[in-house]
Amino acid sequence: MIYVGGSQHLYKQVKKLLLEAWNKHQWIYDKLEDKWYTPEEFKAQWKLLVTDYNLRRYETREPYLGWKESLERIDRQLKAADDFRRKIEAYYKMDLKRK
């Protein structure tokens, strides 16, 4: 068994996360960085990513659900940007009276 820094418990937790992802055909999502890893990518990089203190930030999720959420976020941001543009245009169309 391979583990880092004598933390066999950490290795077991990472292995459990990887097995869950593989068995459910899901990917591993980093909630803090909003970043997705295939199980293979995570397996190759986990020693650089995971510590005893940050393991909770990783979870297995359906990647298509994450894609859908990303598109919804983009849509909300585009609507907010368009509202802001309209507000700017309305402001400069007013006849500004300065004292």
pLDDT tens for residues 14-73?
999 999 999 999 999 999 999 999 999 999 999 999 998 999 999 999 999 999 999 999
Higher pLDDT, 34 or 5: 34
pTM of the model: 0.76
Question: Stretch 6-17: mean pLDDT, rounded?
Answer: 86
Q: Which two tokens stand for residue 77?
A: 């941001």
Do residues 12 and 37 share a domain?
A: yes
Q: Is residue 99 part of a domain?
A: no
Q: Is residue 40 part of a domain?
A: yes
Residue 5, helix vs strand vs coil: coil
- How many structural domains is the chain composed of? 2
Q: Are residues 46 and 69 in the same domain?
A: no
Is 99 a residue whose pLDDT tops 90? no
Q: Do 68 and 35 have their domain in common?
A: no
- Residue 8: its pLDDT value, please? 83
